[in-house]
Amino acid sequence: MTQLTSDALLKLSKGEKNPHKRVRLLAVSLFLECQNRAQVARQLKVAMRSVNNWVTRFLSEGISGLEDKPRRGKKPSLSDKQKLQLARFIAHRAKSENGGRLTGSDVQAYITEHFDVTYHHNHIYRLLKHLGFSWITSRSKHPKQKDGVQDAYKKVPCGNDHSHASPRKT
C-alpha cells in the first residue's frame, strides 16, 4: 500500500464529487498534519467519533476505507427497470394526442396494475420527483385541436395591446 501524504489527500478531497467522501478525505488529511483527532473534529464541525472511525478505517484499509459503506434501510419497491418503464409510460402519456391529464392516481394505478406494488398517494409525487418529473399541471390539449390554430390566434392584435398603440400627444 502506497503511503499517502496529507497534501495528496487534500488534493484528492478537492477533486472528489461525493461530499461525504470529501469530508472524510479532508479529515484524514488534517489528522496526518496535526495528529489530533479532537482538533480535526472541531475544525470540521463533526463528531469526534466520526473522525476516529475515518482515521481508523484509513489506517487499516487505506484510501478504500473512506468509500461510502452500504446504508441500511428499506429496499426500493420498484427496480431500476420498473422505474424506467414507469418513466416511459409517463413521458408517452404526456405526449399523447388523446388529451386529458395524467393524475397521481393514474400513476398509482399503473404501478399497482403493472408491478403489483402499492404506494401511498403522497409517495407517488416523491417518486415522480426522483424520476426527474415535476408535477406541474398544464392545460390539456383537446383531441380535435388543430396544430397552429392557437399560435395564429395569439398573433391577432387586441385592444389592450400597447405595442401597437399610437403615440400620446403632449
Q: What is the pLDDT of residues 21-58, one digit of tens each?
A: 999 999 999 999 988 999 999 999 999 999 999 999 99
Radius of gyration of the chain (CA): 28
Whether 51 maps to a domain, the answer reads: yes
Distance from C-alpha of 111 to C-alpha of 126, rounded to nearest angstrom = 14
Question: Does residue 51 contact residue 27 with C-beta atoms inside 8 Å?
Answer: yes
* 56 and 94 belong to one structural domain: no
* 108 and 57 belong to one structural domain: no
Mark the ranges of the chain whose per-residue pLDDT is less than 50.
1
* 50 and 94 belong to one structural domain: no
Q: Which residue has the cell 431500476?
A: 80
Number of domains forming the structure of the chain: 2
Distance from C-alpha of 134 to C-alpha of 116, rounded to nearest angstrom = 24
Q: What cell was used for 90?
A: 409517463
Residue 83 exposed, middle or buried by CB count within 10 Å (0-12, 13-18, 19+): middle
Model pLDDT, residue 92: 85
Tell which of 66, 91, 118 closes a domain: 66
Whether 111 maps to a domain, the answer reads: yes
* 14 and 62 belong to one structural domain: yes
Model pLDDT, residue 1: 45
Distance from C-alpha of 118 to C-alpha of 108, rounded to nearest angstrom = 8
Tell which of 95, 112, 130 closes a domain: 130
In this structure, is the dihedral angle defined by the CA atoms of residues 58, 62, 63 and 68, taken in order, positive or negative? negative
Whether 162 maps to a domain, the answer reads: no
Model pLDDT, residue 90: 87
Question: Does residue 115 contact residue 82 with C-beta atoms inside 8 Å?
Answer: yes
Residue ranges making up the domain that contains 53: 6-66
Question: Does residue 30 contact residue 44 with C-beta atoms inside 8 Å?
Answer: yes
Tell which of 17, 39, 66 closes a domain: 66
CA 116 → CA 23, 84, 110, 111, 129, distances in Å? 41, 16, 9, 7, 21
